[in-house]
Amino acid sequence: MKKILITGGAGFIGSHLADELLNNGYHLRIIDNLNPQVHGYIDKPPHYLSKDAEFIYGDVRNPQIVNSALKGIDAVFHLAAAVGVGQSMYEIEKYTSNNSLGTAVLCQCIIDNHQDISKFIVASSMSIYGEGQYINNNHQIVGNAKRTLEQLKKYIWEPFDTDGTPLQPIPTNENKQPDLTSIYALTKYDQERMCIIMGNAYNIPTVALRFFNVYGTRQSLSNPYTGVLAIFASRLLNGNTPLVFEDGNQKRDFINVKDIARACRLVLENPITRDKIYNIGSGNCYTIKEIAELLSSVLNKNIEPVITRKYRVGDIRHCFADIRHANSELGFSPQINLEQGLTELSQWLAEQISTDEFEKASQQLIQRGLTI
């Protein structure tokens, strides 16, 4: 039986991955610093985290703790990160330190003392793509679509081709060149590349998984910077309207956290995966407005979203996943559709109390000129 380390294992995705691995016979150790923005102020692991996982309270930037966490470990999932696009634009040091430095310390400990690990898997993000892929009128793929500030100020939301003709969004594949539009994205790319470069140099099978929009139970409802469904849920539970940026027709790919956890296990168990990058999404897309309406409906709230017609600096228009690579090489296909996932989420939400911190977070962006 293999012993697995999950960094950030007390978080949303990490705790579901912990369940998935424990249910499949793995031994588990978790290291997590219980970031108060995610967990509130707690001095022991969150109640939902399985007691069968060994828990180490600690920061991935601390080499002593990381070295002891790595002892006797066969494979590592690196999930620990500060997560939030908007906040990363004004807490640059915090994001760079947690994500880039945290990954550097982990990699350093691995090469110094633990090169015998059989697999290293890092959580990357769709945010590294910037705008997704599009197709133009001549049926050519456009991988560098951009929107100008001038057009956004005129409420023209869709990107155009260089000749001014409209572009159609298509599923984004792993070959699209990254286009980093936020500090968060920069640090996720940093994490991805650092792990893969290290893995190649030291012959450690290393895989980066680019997660799309993950939703499900246990996502922090008090963190106003991450997870659009969790943010909308927190608004609705407090009787507030979900606020939707732009015109609400921007498209994203929502994948249930249990499918993410299964994809992670498939990578762990797949012998051919080394120096690989996979999109992990649902392969479907929904507009943000649709998502707000669907959530309101499953929660039996008669609250319509408000379309703000505001643009957040760094936001992209459309991005949803082409998952054919994960499907053909890992045998991954999502098993939980959005309807099933939202039903389960609504049952969990019914038992939750949340503080709606969205207005406060929104003010931070406005004060800094990061919302137009």
Ligand X SMILES: NC(=O)c1ccc[n+]([C@@H]2O[C@H](COP(=O)([O-])OP(=O)(O)OC[C@H]3O[C@@H](n4cnc5c(N)ncnc54)[C@H](O)[C@@H]3O)[C@@H](O)[C@H]2O)c1
Pick 61 or 146: Cβ nearer ligand X: 61
Is there binding between residue 267 and ligand X (CB under 6 A)? no
Is there binding between residue 94 and ligand X (CB under 6 A)? no
Count of Cβ atoms closer than 10 Å to residue 41 Cβ: 6
Pick 61 or 310: Cβ nearer ligand X: 61
Is there binding between residue 213 and ligand X (CB under 6 A)? yes
By beta carbon distance, the residue nearest ligand X is 11
Token pair of 31 as six digits: 């290291």
**3-class SS at 223?**
coil
- Cα separation, 2 vs 275, in Å, equals 21
Rule CB under 6 A: choose which of 4, 6, 11, 194 binds ligand X. Answer: 11
Buried b (16+ CB within 10 A) or exposed e, 131-158: bbbbebeeeeebbebebeeeebeeeebb
Rule CB under 6 A: choose which of 4, 6, 8, 19 binds ligand X. Answer: 8
Question: What pairing do the DSSP bridges indicate for beta strands 213-215 and 286-287?
Answer: unpaired
Is there binding between residue 134 and ligand X (CB under 6 A)? no
Q: Do residues 220 and 132 make contact, with C-beta atoms less than 8 angstroms apart?
A: no
Contacts of 96 (CB under 8 A, 6+ apart): 183, 187
- Cα separation, 305 vs 171, in Å, equals 26
Does residue 179 come out as left (phi exceeding 0), alpha (psi in the -120 to 50 range) or beta?
beta
Is there binding between residue 285 and ligand X (CB under 6 A)? no
Is there binding between residue 224 and ligand X (CB under 6 A)? no
Considering only the stretches 7-15, 281-289, 295-303, 327-335, report the one whose residues sit in contact with ligand X under the rule CB under 6 A: 7-15
Which residue in this structure is represented by tokens 């106003």?
Answer: 224
Tell the smallest beta-carbon distance from residue 92 to ligand X (Å).
15
Site string for ligand X, 148-187 (x = CB under 6 A): ----------------------------------------
Size of the residue set binding ligand X (CB under 6 A): 29
Rule CB under 6 A: choose which of 6, 18, 28, 32 binds ligand X. Answer: 32
Pick 14 or 248: Cβ nearer ligand X: 14
The H or E element that residue 199 is part of is helix 183-202
Pick 125 or 234: Cβ nearer ligand X: 125
Rule CB under 6 A: choose which of 69, 80, 285, 316 binds ligand X. Answer: 80
Is there binding between residue 214 and ligand X (CB under 6 A)? yes
- Cα separation, 361 vs 226, in Å, equals 11
Considering only the stretches 128-136, 194-202, 210-218, 267-275, report the one whose residues sit in contact with ligand X under the rule CB under 6 A: 210-218
Tell the smallest beta-carbon distance from residue 126 to ligand X (Å).
6
Is there binding between residue 125 and ligand X (CB under 6 A)? yes
DSSP 232-292: HHHHHHTTPPPEESTTS--EE-EEEHHHHHHHHHHHHH-TT-SSEEEEES-S--EEHHHHH
Q: How many residues does the chain have?
A: 372
Of 55-74, binders to ligand X (CB under 6 A) are 59-61
Considering only the stretches 27-35, 162-170, 235-243, 310-318, report the one whose residues sit in contact with ligand X under the rule CB under 6 A: 27-35
Rule CB under 6 A: choose which of 20, 30, 33, 73 binds ligand X. Answer: 33
Residues that bind ligand X (CB under 6 A): 8, 10-14, 32-35, 38, 59-61, 79-83, 98, 102, 123, 125, 188, 211, 213-214, 220, 227
